[in-house]
Each structure stands twice: as structure tokens, then as C-alpha cells.
Amino acid sequence: MGSYAVSLYPVLKAIKDMGEITPTNDKQTKFVEKYLAFGDLENVPELQVWVSLDAEELNQKLVGHGFQSRFSPFSSDQFGILSLLEIALQWLHAGESRVINAQNNRKYSGVHLDEADTSISVYRSWQHSHDVVSWRTKDDLTMVSVSFADRPLLGFALFDYVASIMVGRSIIGYSGVIFPCVSLHCTENMQWLVNMQVGYNRVAQATQENIIKMDEHGMEVKSATEMVMVAMSAVAVPVVPQAYIIDRPFYLWLSRVDCSFPLMVAYIDYNSWIGADKRDVE
């Protein structure tokens, strides 16, 4: 199925102050009841939002921030909302290059972060069958977490599942973590948002483009949510510590102090891993 990523914070930023939210399907209801009230938007200053009647104005923003998605021209009763999340993170100390012999019998470029140089914590969630390994970044607010994936997940289901396994019982740690270098670029049609009523407007289209890059120095995540609105009125633990090696598809997510749910989540399949022949690794 391939890799996939999703972030709800740009969606929240786009609609939270536009008026009363009226869900029209079960996913929208869950989104409003579980996430809208706990968006913690003040703790994510990297969020930006623009509203315009001119699609080209919003497209220029997309181009300027390195996204490929584009708005089509709006009809007389439509307007667009563009919401961006861009976060650049550095590891506490640069990792060492490694080769990962993955379970699909291919070699991939990997990174080893040693526990001595990186604040690594490990826990086991009651709702997930694999260890979760997390480490802090230089901003001292944002955590990166990984755990083997039991199955591929998409969209709201992926986000909801990862949000449910963010806490658990701490266990004995590993000596470090070895993960693949990642280059992910994906776009989703967020069909589950369509027809949601926001104030005096209705969501006609919603798409999200997500980019994740991760190597020995850190990671970069970028998310662009594009929404076309229709105005309904006037427009308004191991015994001997060892490295935790990610050698098969995995879930990846970013969390932040004082934020109630993940900044972004991803299912990373082999198609987003960087091959060992593309980098000089040991």
C-alpha cells in the first residue's frame, strides 16, 4: 500500500475560529468530540493559515513553501483555506550511518542514535503489541517516537490509533535506536471532512499534502491542508540492552509537551526508505 502521513493540527487551525462545527458523519463527530476541544493550538506556533477568494494567491503560498498541491479556481460561492505546519528538528547529537538489513531482504541506509548521546525512553502501550521507543530533540519540547506497525493504516484511522498508544507502562530501555533514513511525500483526499458545516459554510473539498525527511542529523516535517469552502450565506525491554532496530514497516509520530495528541503521524513502508546504495553507509 505504501507509506502515508496525516496531521490534524492544520485542520484544526483552519476551522477552529470560523464558528460552530456541525458534523455530518461519524468520523467528523469523533473529530469534533475527541480533538477539536483539545487542539492546544497555542503550543504549535509553527502553524500558519490563509483565507482567500483567489485560488492563485493561495497557490503562490504553496509554491513558496515547497508543496506540489494546487487549488483550482473558485466559483462565486467558494473560498479557500490553506493551513501549513512546518517543523525542522535536530537530534541532540548527530547519529552514525548504518546499513539496515530489512525483513524484505533489501538493504537500506540507516541511522544509529546511541542512548548515551540521546535521551531515549521506552514504554509498552496496553493497546499495542510492540515496544514504543521515543527520543527528545534539541528544541527540548518535541519527541520523536517509533514502533513496529501491526498493519497498514490510513487517514483518520491512522491518527486515531497512534493517539491511543501515546501512553503506556515504562520498561527497561535499549542501548540506542537504529532507524531507516526516510523520504516521504504523499497527498490524501480527506473525503471524511466533506460536507462538515463550519459556521455559515460547508466543506466542499479537503486535501492534505505531507512531507517527511529523516536522516542522521534530524528530521523535517511539512503539512499543507487545502480546504475549499462553500458559503451557505454571504461569504465569511531486553535483558542485555541493545539497539532497537527498525527493519520492517513502522509507525512514526511527533509529540510535544502540553499538546494532547500527535503533531503528525505516519505509517512508513519500505517505499519511503532510502536504499543503502544511495548513501555511503557502513
- In order of 87, 101, 153, 225, 233, the CA distances from 35 in angstroms are 21, 38, 19, 17, 27
Average pLDDT over residues 98-103: 96
pLDDT above 90 for 23: yes
Tally of CB atoms within 10 A around 45: 7
Amino acid identity for residue 243 in this structure: A
In this predicted structure, what is the pLDDT of residue 252? 92
* Under 8 Å between Cβ of 120 and 133: yes
Give residue 237's pLDDT band: very low, low, confident or very high (50, 70, 90). very low
* Under 8 Å between Cβ of 224 and 65: yes
Average pLDDT over residues 100-127: 90
Give the lowest-confidence range in 3-7, 50-54, 116-120: 116-120
pLDDT above 60 for 235: no
Give residue 279's pLDDT band: very low, low, confident or very high (50, 70, 90). low
pTM: 0.87
Tell me the HSE value of 63 on the side-chain side, using a 13 A CA sphere: 8
- Sequence-separated (6 or more) residues with CB below 8 Å from residue 140: none
Average pLDDT over residues 14-39: 88
Name the E strands within 15-77: 21-22, 48-52
In this predicted structure, what is the pLDDT of residue 241? 58
* Under 8 Å between Cβ of 90 and 118: no
Give residue 39's pLDDT band: very low, low, confident or very high (50, 70, 90). low
Pairing mode, strands 176-180 and 243-245:
parallel
pLDDT above 90 for 90: yes
* Under 8 Å between Cβ of 82 and 60: no
Give residue 13's pLDDT band: very low, low, confident or very high (50, 70, 90). very high
* Under 8 Å between Cβ of 249 and 149: yes
Give residue 207's pLDDT band: very low, low, confident or very high (50, 70, 90). very high
DSSP assignment of 116-154, as one string?
A: TTS-EEEEE-TT-SSEEEEEEBTTSSEEEEEEE-SS---
pLDDT above 50 for 236: no
For 64-87, write each residue's pLDDT tens digit: 999 999 999 999 999 999 999 999
Residue 211, classed as helix, strand or coil, is strand
In this predicted structure, what is the pLDDT of residue 239? 43
Amino acid identity for residue 166 in this structure: M
pLDDT above 70 for 99: yes
Tell me the HSE value of 269 on the side-chain side, using a 13 A CA sphere: 12
Average pLDDT over residues 33-59: 90
- In order of 10, 25, 48, 50, the CA distances from 224 in angstroms are 7, 23, 10, 11
